Amino acid sequence: MSEVTEFYNFALEVAHYGGNKIKEGYYSQTVSSNLQSKADPCDLVTQYDQEIEREAIKMIKDKFPSHRIIGEESDAAGEKWSLTDDPTWIIDPIDGTSNFVHRFPFVCISIGVFVKKKPVVGVVFNPILNELFTAQVGKGAYLNQKQRLPIFDPTSAVVKSPRDCMVISEFGGLRDSASLLPKSSSMYKFAVAAQEGGLGCRGIRCLGSAALDLCQLAQGSADVYWEAGPYIWDIAAALLILKESGGFAISSASPNMTLDQAHKFDFLARTVLAVRSLAPVPSDRPRSQQENIAADSHALD
């Protein structure tokens, strides 16, 4: 068994543990016990977030003592993390904590594994809707380990032009995008247009989970995702799932950059602009060599 497959199998174990715990909390009366807010009153944390992360870390440490772990609740200040060449597990024990507390069913555990600073495994599990999104580098992305992503054909008649796009955006962790991006930048204009609904797209959605937002693109249910504010644990796993489904993502260190200039994804920039696959990759056949080259050359490399 390859090293990546070993990491993948274990990530599934951790995701199932976390998923069961999320489900238990979601349907129990204790979901709001120990409810606290962090730096921002909208950024909530519950005993479930803390307990799932603690146990996930313990499981990973027992199995892979030399691996590094970055987790949202162990890194509450948000800025302390750094990636090294060592195998590194990046965990968001509950992505969509507000949804969890309000019982809005877009809630998941997100686990990404990086080796030499590159993503090799991504697992995002929503136990409420029973949807497991997974990817291993170079092996495609899957829903519930059976259906290859994207499930829905990106070239279908539904989307013919940008006006037909379904856009996902979030109010996110950085509510004041002007503080992050110059007003003249394309990213800022996109954010304002998207949030005001003036983009000329078909619709704008806001699911409350960055990881599940990206998985909607990966499966072909939405076309564009933009957010200012996510941390590495919100998106690490789902970006690999998107990439393996043929999608693209850029961060915005230089705000006027276009898709053509997409560069190394910079998690510290805390901005994401992602689009679903531009060419169809039918789920019932492996990619051609050309498709693999195209997928390999995109922004996350």
Q: Which residues bind ligand IPD (CB under 6 A)?
A: 43, 72, 92, 94-97, 170, 172-173, 208-210, 227, 229-230, 234
Catalytic site residue from 97, 128, 168, 241: 97
Interacting span for Ca ion (CB under 5 A) from 22-30, 40-48, 51-59, 285-293: 40-48
Say which amino acid occupies 112: G
Give yes or no: 95 in active site: yes
Interacting span for Ca ion (CB under 5 A) from 13-21, 37-45, 54-62, 121-129: 37-45
Give yes or no: 22 in active site: no
Residue 71 CB, shortest distance to ligand IPD, in Å, is 11
Residue 210 CB, shortest distance to Ca ion, in Å, is 6
Spatial separation of the C-alpha atoms in residues 112 and 200, rounded to whole Å: 34
Give yes or no: 92 in active site: yes
Which residue from 52, 53, 63, 51 is spatially nearest to 87, judged by alpha carbons?
63
Please state, in angstroms and as integers, the Cα–Cα distance from residue 126 to each residue in 26, 156, 166, 271, following that order.
Answer: 12, 27, 21, 23
Q: What does 96 interact with, of ligand IPD, Ca ion, none (CB < 5 to 8 A by kind)?
A: ligand IPD
Which residue from 117, 129, 103 is spatially nearest to 46, judged by alpha carbons?
103
Residue 234 CB, shortest distance to ligand IPD, in Å, is 5
Q: Determine how many CB atoms are found less than 10 A away from the CB of residue 175.
A: 11
> Which parts of 195-224 interact with Ca ion (CB under 5 A)?
none
Spatial separation of the C-alpha atoms in residues 122 and 134, rounded to whole Å: 6
Which residue from 269, 219, 267 is spatially nearest to 242, judged by alpha carbons?
219
Spatial separation of the C-alpha atoms in residues 82 and 301, rounded to whole Å: 17
Give yes or no: 94 in active site: yes
Q: Is the CB of 11 or the CB of 238 nearer to ligand IPD?
A: 238
Catalytic site residue from 49, 53, 73, 92: 92
Binding site for Ca ion (CB under 5 A): 43, 72, 92, 94-95, 234
Active-site amino acid positions:
72, 92, 94-95, 97, 234
